[in-house]
Structure formats: C-alpha cells, structure tokens
C-alpha cells in the first residue's frame, strides 16, 4: 500500500499493512487491529483472539480506580470471551519506572498480556511482555495516546527516564465513551501533547541534517498532516472539549501509528519530552504539583521553538565557552534530587573540536531551511496555544503562574543530559549556548 493513503481512512481500518515508501524502504504496521468505538471493552476477546488460542491465560495489569469504573468488569468480559484471566491491580497510579514493572508477577502459563490504563500502563506492559516474549494488547483509557503503538517503552530507572525497545502491541482497544466522560483537562493534555510533537519533528529533521540520523520525508509529512488535522479539528472556533476529545484521541492514535512505522521512538522523544521529564524531576524534588505530561510538553514546545528560531537567526560567527559538565552534574543533583554517581554514567560527553565544528558548519549550511521550518511550526504552536487554553474550564487561567522563568530555563538547559536522543538542544548544549541559562 502507498504511504499517502495512511491518513485518508479512519483509525479502525489500521492493521498489519506494509507500506511502500518514497524513501526506498518499506514500513510495516505490526499492530493488527484498532478497536475505537463506544463500548469497546466488549471487543477485548476479539483483540485477544488475534494473538492466542481460546482458553489461553491472559494476564491483565490495571489500576484500581480504572478497574472499578469499567462496566462490565474487565475480567468478566475476558472470561466470557473464552479466555482465562489473571490480574494485577495497582492500588494507586503506577509510576513509569522499572519498580512498577517488577510488581507484576506473571504466571508461567500466561500467553498474552493486557494493559488497561493510560500511557504508563501501556509502557509497563509493553516492557514486561517484551521481557517474557509474550504478545500484548493495550486497552487505552487516556486520549493522550501518542506512545501507545510505538515499539518502545519510556520507563525510569533511579528516576532517570530511558527508552527501551519493545514489540508494538498486537491490538489497541479504546472506548470513546470513556474519553467523553473524562475531565476536560485530559482533552487539553491530549491535544497539547500531540501538537508538542512539532518539536520532535523539528528535532528529527535537524538530527538528520546535523547528525546524519536516519530520516524519512514521507513519514515526516504523514506525522505533520496528523497534527494539522488535529489543529483544524480543535481550532475550528467552537471550543467544546467533550465534543472534540474522541477526535483528538483518534488523531493521537494515528500519530502513534506513524511512530510505529518509523521503527523508533524518534517522534515521541523530542526536546519537549526531555524538558517535560526535567520539570517532573524538579517538581517532585521540590514537592510541587506537576501537571499532566501532555500539558507540560506543550508548554515547553512553545518555549523551545522560540529558542530554535532565535538560535537560527543569529548562528554563525560567535564564540561562547564550552559547556561545563561538572556544574551540570551538581545542578542536577541539587534541583532534580538525582544521585551524582547515576548522573555521571548518563551525562553526555561533550562533543568538541572538529566534530563540534562540523555540526556548527552544518547548522550554518541548513540554516535557511531549518529557520523557515521553525517559523512555520511556531505559527502552528501559537494557533494551538489559544485553542489549548479554551479547552480548560477556566480558559487556562491555572497555567499562567505554573512554570516560572527560572524553572523553565533550568529545565531547558539541563534537558539534553536526561535522554539519549539527539535534539537541537543537544547541539545547543555542545555549542555552549545553554550555559547562560544555568547561571
Ligand atoms: Zn520511508
């Protein structure tokens, strides 16, 4: 099938296609089916049949508050559908870390894993299923689903987030009625989180140009057109969170499908994701209330795109001192509460000398192209910002004092050391351009 048809049909038609691509490769969608409808919980047995014979044992991981809310009960649906069930019920919201994974005691005869919850449960189950070489099905209850179908799980070890390769889920089930029943804020987070991936797209393109990373133009375009579709859906003039939330959730899944086609976590781990992680560490360490991931990513996407634009207007002949990794380690220990020995292993060695000069040369060479892309994306983000606020009950009033400039500059400047992916912030760090924000 041709890749450009990907966006022309609804998400429930997705399943198992192989796309011939203009980049010369073929991209494969391994997820066989998406059930996206009202009352989709009843479709769980159909999803399980795609990966295991009847009477197999399905192991379900779910959060208590969600298990209590679902009607009919998840274990009943699965057993009535002809499968045996074992469950692990998390009492509170599980944290996205390896400790939460280790709580899962999966019986030896389990043949399928099922994750019921938001993005965190999806990551935990994808990771555990990969460890045990079992197929998995995700029942996603959150409209923010860009990570659901990726072949990766984002989980922390000693509070530092890492991306682990996993198999993608065999099937995804989403109940649109649950989305409509959720608070409006979830719609805002799902919209903001998706639109914030403009930063990830920019980082992908710049990593290809500056750092010679694998890149596919048709997939870049496919991802961008999903974001545009969502922008048009939400910025249409009537800001009704309940009316648009199912559409936003569908756009999230479409984006997630494109992520799976790239074969990596590239499109979910741009600088917006790095900064959102930094903010979470900072707020946890200072016992401050942290908003949802999608909200944080969107707030940072706006800041970052302005920084990129600014960088690209003035790059060229300037000299700044190189970055100071020792100072960075001290600050990460102090503000994020991280263990210094742990950071020392993770912190990026500074790229200096010829390698850094070559990067700077390439930024100069592609400056026009990157600058116009940053301007385009900045316009989209400005349009999204207005709509984003309108999705809140208070028109976004609570967002105003949430991240102050000191928090923002600390997070942006330390973010490149929290994750392995190369972003434009990584370039800025190596060029010494983030150091001013630290002092
Ligand atoms: Zn391609």
**Stretch 417-425: mean pLDDT, rounded?**
87
Please tell me whether residues 328 and 203 are part of one structural domain: yes
Sign of CA dihedral 323, 325, 330, 333: positive
Distance from the alpha carbon of residue 251 to the mean position of ligand 1, in angstroms: 20
Distance from the alpha carbon of residue 262 to the mean position of ligand 1, in angstroms: 8
Q: What is the pLDDT of residue 22?
A: 85
Distance from the alpha carbon of residue 363 to the mean position of ligand 1, in angstroms: 24
Distance from the alpha carbon of residue 259 to the mean position of ligand 1, in angstroms: 12
Mean pLDDT in the chain? 92
349: confidence class by pLDDT, cuts 50, 70, 90: confident
Q: What is the pLDDT of residue 1?
A: 67
**Stretch 346-355: mean pLDDT, rounded?**
80
Please tell me whether residues 329 and 205 are part of one structural domain: yes
Lowest mean pLDDT of 46-55, 271-280, 288-297, 336-345, name the range.
336-345
Look up the domain containing 364 and give its range: 187-214+264-438
Residue 259 included in any domain:
no
104: confidence class by pLDDT, cuts 50, 70, 90: very high
Find the DSSP H helices in 235-352: 241-262, 271-285, 293-314, 325-336, 340-346
Task: Please write the tens of the pLDDT for every residue from 177-219.
Answer: 999 999 999 999 999 999 999 999 999 999 999 999 999 999 9
Distance from the alpha carbon of residue 25 to the mean position of ligand 1, in angstroms: 5
Distance from the alpha carbon of residue 361 to the mean position of ligand 1, in angstroms: 27
Distance from the alpha carbon of residue 418 to the mean position of ligand 1, in angstroms: 29
Distance from the alpha carbon of residue 5 to the mean position of ligand 1, in angstroms: 14
Task: Select from 181, 203, 224 the last residue of a domain.
Answer: 181
Distance from the alpha carbon of residue 334 to the mean position of ligand 1, in angstroms: 43
Please tell me whether residues 176 and 284 are part of one structural domain: no
Task: Please write the tens of the pLDDT for every residue from 222-234.
Answer: 999 999 999 999 9
Q: What is the pLDDT of residue 65?
A: 92
Please tell me whether residues 192 and 175 are part of one structural domain: no
Q: What is the pLDDT of residue 242?
A: 87
Distance from the alpha carbon of residue 219 to the mean position of ligand 1, in angstroms: 6
User: What b/e string do you get for 240-266 counting C-beta neighbours within 10 Å, with b at 16 or more?
Assistant: ebeebbbbbbbbbbbbbbbbbbbbbbb
Residue 71 included in any domain:
yes
Q: What is the pLDDT of residue 316?
A: 58
Distance from the alpha carbon of residue 29 to the mean position of ligand 1, in angstroms: 13
Report the C-alpha gap between 305 and 381 in whole angstroms.
9
Please tell me whether residues 361 and 428 are part of one structural domain: yes
144: confidence class by pLDDT, cuts 50, 70, 90: very high
Question: Across 65-79, 191-205, 425-439, which has the greatest mean pLDDT?
Answer: 191-205
Please tell me whether residues 315 and 356 are part of one structural domain: yes
Residue 85 in this model has a pLDDT that exceeds 70: yes
Please tell me whether residues 166 and 300 are part of one structural domain: no
Distance from the alpha carbon of residue 63 to the mean position of ligand 1, in angstroms: 37
Give the residue with greater pLDDT, 4 vs 90. Answer: 90
Q: What is the pLDDT of residue 179?
A: 93
Distance from the alpha carbon of residue 129 to the mean position of ligand 1, in angstroms: 28
**Stretch 343-352: mean pLDDT, rounded?**
79
Report the C-alpha gap between 439 and 436 in whole angstroms.
6
Residue 10 in this model has a pLDDT that exceeds 90: no
Question: Across 125-129, 319-323, 335-339, which has the greatest mean pLDDT?
Answer: 125-129
Please tell me whether residues 172 and 191 are part of one structural domain: no
Residue 414 in this model has a pLDDT that exceeds 80: yes
Give the residue with greater pLDDT, 420 vs 359. Answer: 359
**Stretch 33-37: mean pLDDT, rounded?**
95
Task: Select from 181, 199, 224 the last residue of a domain.
Answer: 181
Distance from the alpha carbon of residue 161 to the mean position of ligand 1, in angstroms: 28
Please tell me whether residues 310 and 424 are part of one structural domain: yes
Report the C-alpha gap between 282 and 334 in whole angstroms.
9
Return the DSSP state at 288: -
Distance from the alpha carbon of residue 214 to the mean position of ligand 1, in angstroms: 10
Please tell me whether residues 47 and 85 are part of one structural domain: yes
Distance from the alpha carbon of residue 171 to the mean position of ligand 1, in angstroms: 23
Number of domains observed in the structure of the chain = 2
Residue 411 in this model has a pLDDT that exceeds 90: yes
Strand (E) or helix (H) holding 76 = helix 74-80
The answer to whether the CB of 139 falls within 8 A of the CB of 44 is: yes
Q: What is the pLDDT of residue 318?
A: 59
Residue 251 included in any domain:
no
Strand (E) or helix (H) holding 154 = strand 152-157
Distance from the alpha carbon of residue 11 to the mean position of ligand 1, in angstroms: 20
Q: What is the pLDDT of residue 322?
A: 83
Q: What is the pLDDT of residue 11?
A: 87
Please tell me whether residues 209 and 161 are part of one structural domain: no
Q: What is the pLDDT of residue 176?
A: 94
What whole-number percentage of the chain has pLDDT above 90? 78
For residue 89, give the CATH number of its domain: 3.40.50.1970
Please tell me whether residues 162 and 292 are part of one structural domain: no
Question: Across 94-98, 311-315, 358-362, 420-424, which has the greatest mean pLDDT?
Answer: 94-98
Residue 373 included in any domain:
yes
Residue 405 included in any domain:
yes
Residue 50 in this model has a pLDDT that exceeds 80: yes
Distance from the alpha carbon of residue 257 to the mean position of ligand 1, in angstroms: 14
Report the C-alpha gap between 8 and 5 in whole angstroms.
5
Distance from the alpha carbon of residue 22 to the mean position of ligand 1, in angstroms: 6
């Amino acid at each position: 099938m041709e890749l450009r048809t990907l966006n022309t049909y609804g998400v429930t038609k997705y399943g198992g296609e192989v796309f011939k691509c203009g980049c010369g490769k073929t991209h494969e969608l391994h997820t066989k089916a998406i059930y996206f409808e009202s009352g989709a919980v009843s479709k769980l047995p159909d999803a399980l049949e795609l990966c295991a014979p009847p009477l197999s044992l399905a192991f379900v991981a779910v959060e208590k508050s969600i298990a209590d809310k679902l009607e009919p009960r998840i274990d009943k649906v699965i057993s009535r559908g002809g499968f045996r069930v074992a469950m692990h019920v998390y009492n509170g919201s599980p944290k996205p870390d390896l400790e939460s994974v280790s709580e899962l005691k999966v019986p030896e005869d389990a043949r399928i894993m099922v994750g019921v919850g938001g993005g965190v449960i999806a990551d935990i189950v994808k990771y555990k299923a990969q460890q045990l070489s079992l197929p998995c099905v995700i029942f996603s209850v959150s409209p923010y689903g860009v990570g659901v179908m990726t072949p990766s799980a984002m989980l922390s070890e000693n509070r530092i987030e890492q991306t682990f390769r996993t198999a993608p889920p065999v099937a995804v089930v989403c109940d649109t009625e649950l989305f409509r029943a959720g608070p409006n804020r979830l719609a805002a987070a799902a919209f903001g989180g998706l639109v914030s991936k403009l930063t990830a797209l920019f980082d992908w393109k710049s990593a290809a140009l500056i750092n010679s990373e694998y890149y596919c133009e048709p997939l870049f375009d496919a991802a961008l057109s999903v974001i545009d579709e969502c922008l048009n859906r939400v910025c249409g003039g009537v800001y009704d969170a309940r009316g648009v939330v199912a559409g936003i959730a569908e756009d999230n899944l479409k984006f997630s499908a494109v992520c799976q086609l790239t074969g990596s976590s590239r499109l979910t781990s741009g600088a917006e994701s790095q900064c959102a992680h930094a903010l979470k560490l900072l707020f946890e360490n200072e016992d401050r209330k942290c908003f949802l991931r999608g909200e944080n990513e969107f707030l940072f996407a706006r800041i970052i795109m302005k920084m990129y634009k600014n960088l690209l207007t003035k790059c060229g002949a300037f000299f700044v001192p190189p970055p100071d990794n020792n100072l960075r380690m001290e600050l990460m220990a102090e503000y994020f509460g991280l263990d210094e020995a742990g950071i020392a292993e993770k912190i990026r060695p500074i790229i200096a000398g010829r390698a850094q000069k070559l990067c700077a040369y390439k930024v100069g060479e592609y400056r026009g192209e990157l600058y116009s892309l940053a301007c385009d994306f900045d316009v989209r983000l400005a349009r999204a910002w207005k709509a984003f606020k309108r999705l809140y009950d208070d028109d976004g009033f609570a967002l105003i004092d949430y991240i102050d400039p000191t928090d923002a500059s600390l997070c942006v400047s330390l973010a490149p050391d929290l994750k392995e992916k190369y972003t434009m912030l990584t370039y800025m760090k190596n060029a010494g351009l983030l150091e001013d924000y630290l002092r």
